[in-house]
């Protein structure tokens, strides 16, 4: 089965990000395809490389980055939600005159069209978080 995943909560706000990660990891292990993981609303905070949890806590941003590298996942951060929350890549940093970016490895910034495409191309679109 081909899944699209939508994550609407930050990595340390609620259980949603952890649940999305665990589902994605389990689905891949079972041989399913993940078409795209789309981060929206506060979920865009899963894509900032400036996250620095305590050493005894899970590092969810790194987990997503590693999973993307291992399986070639498309991790897309919504551009409008990201701008509101200060998550930017090189292109957006230049556009807004910022001196750097904070997008984590394996993530990219794009628009809602990527979510629509994921829903059309996948058998199921699963939403984690409100």
Active site residues: 78
| Neighbouring C-beta atoms of residue 68, cutoff 10 Å | 20
CB atoms within 10 A of CB 103: 23
C-alpha span between 19 and 59 (Å, rounded)? 14
Half-sphere exposure of 47 (CA within 13 A, CB side): 32
């Amino acid at each position: 089965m081909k899944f699209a995943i939508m994550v609407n909560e930050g990595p340390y706000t609620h259980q949603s990000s952890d649940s999305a990660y665990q589902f994605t990891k389990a689905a891949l292990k079972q041989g399913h395809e993940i078409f795209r993981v789309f981060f929206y609303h506060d979920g865009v905070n899963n894509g900032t490389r400036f996250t620095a949890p305590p050493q005894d806590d899970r590092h969810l941003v790194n987990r997503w980055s590693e999973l993307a590298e291992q399986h070639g996942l498309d991790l897309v951060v919504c551009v409008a939600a990201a701008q509101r929350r200060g998550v930017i890549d090189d292109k957006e940093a230049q556009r807004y005159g910022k001196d750097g970016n904070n997008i984590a490895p394996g993530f990219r910034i794009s628009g809602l069209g990527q979510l629509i495409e994921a829903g059309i191309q996948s058998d199921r679109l699963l939403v984690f978080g409100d």
